[in-house]
Amino acid sequence: MSKPRSDAKLLNLPPKVEDQICDWLNYGIDGDTKYETVREKIYEKFNIRTSVGALYEFYRQIAAPRRLAKAAAAAGNLKEEASARGAHFKEASLAVLQQKGFEILAQQHTDPKELVAFFGMILDADRLAIDKQKVELQRDRFEFSAAKAALKHVRELKIISSDKSLNEEAKIEAVRERLFGKAPGK
Amino acid sequence: MTAEIKRQILLTLKQCQPFALPEKTLHYQVNFAIRPPINEDELAEFLISMRSQKLIDFILDDLDESVRKWHITEAGKALLQK
């Protein structure tokens, strides 16, 4: 009985093995996408002997088309990623980011995980900007409440201010208590 | 051969959905699948012809309007399923 051709072996692999080989060819092994490196790795990991020619054919027929589909899926997932991280992009901005992300993955040997990590940085920057806005809003609200309370108690505050029996620290404490009540634990 | 190239263009763009593929990347990708490979001008002719048949369409890059990005249309998808 004749041995199966090495390219035939590669074109009839279990899905998990096929996925792994696609990833090695598309994104490299520690950045190395050479056929020879991948060929050795396939033998080491799956005990499958193949040729560079067969590997090229596998890349042409299976791995390269899959890279596009995987790129599209990864770029599509950025929307959920944004939502999970609480980022608030406008729909149009997100669409532009997704399209650009797809193009990066489609053109280069960029692992989708790297894109997600990069996108995560953008999302975190967006979240930090939102957090900063929230802090500013809280400060504005506090200042407004403090001003409102001060107006309400203006006469009492004047009395505290002119009370010569109190030192500076005691005056501040008295004003604070007058405006906001007793501090917790006091 | 013409039919095979057209089919390959449609198949490639179908994998990219819902995104659009820059022409240069499309060229690279199509040439992986067909023999003999075609040059950029030949690909451009196919693309224009297929666009006139409403099988595919393009958008221009936001930053560089000389870059066309192609996507498959519903008619293109329907043709692939035949």
Nearest to B62 among A59, A96, A98 (CB): A96
Closest by Cα among B56, B79, B76 to B68: B56
Residue B19 Cα, gap to closest chain A Cα (Å): 6
Which residues of chain A make contact with B24, given a CB cutoff of 8 A?
A: 107
Residue B12 Cα, gap to closest chain A Cα (Å): 7
Reported pTM: 0.68
What contacts A137, CB < 8 A, 6 or more positions away? none
Q: What are the tokens at B31?
A: 């040439």
Which residues of chain A make contact with B4, given a CB cutoff of 8 A?
A: none
Q: Of residues B65 and A45, which shows the higher confidence score? A: A45
Interchain CB distance below 8 Å, A106 and B25: yes
Is residue B49 within 8 angstroms of chain A, CB to CB?
Answer: no
* CA distances from residue A8 to A4, A12, A13, A48, A58 in whole angstroms, order as listed: 7, 6, 9, 12, 9
Query: Residue B35: closest CA among chain A residues belongs to which residue?
Result: A60
Q: Of residues A132 and A51, which shows the higher confidence score? A: A51
Task: Quote the CA–CA distance of B18 and A116 in Å, as a whole number.
Answer: 18
Question: pLDDT for A42-82, tens place per residue?
Answer: 999 999 999 999 999 899 889 988 889 999 998 998 888 87
What contacts B17, CB < 8 A, 6 or more positions away? A72, B71, B72
State the pLDDT at residue A166. 84
Neighbouring-strand partners of residue A29: A32
Nearest to A60 among B17, B20, B32 (CB): B32
Closest by Cα among A59, A76, A60, A67 to A111: A67
Buried b (16+ CB within 10 A) or exposed e, B36-62: eebeeeebeebbeebbeeebbbbeeee
Is residue B22 within 8 angstroms of chain A, CB to CB?
Answer: yes
**Arithmetic mean of pLDDT, A127-131:** 70
8 Å CB contact between B78 and B31: no
Is residue B25 within 8 angstroms of chain A, CB to CB?
Answer: yes
Interchain CB distance below 8 Å, A72 and B62: no
User: Domains plus CATH for chain B?
Assistant: 2-81 (1.10.10.10)
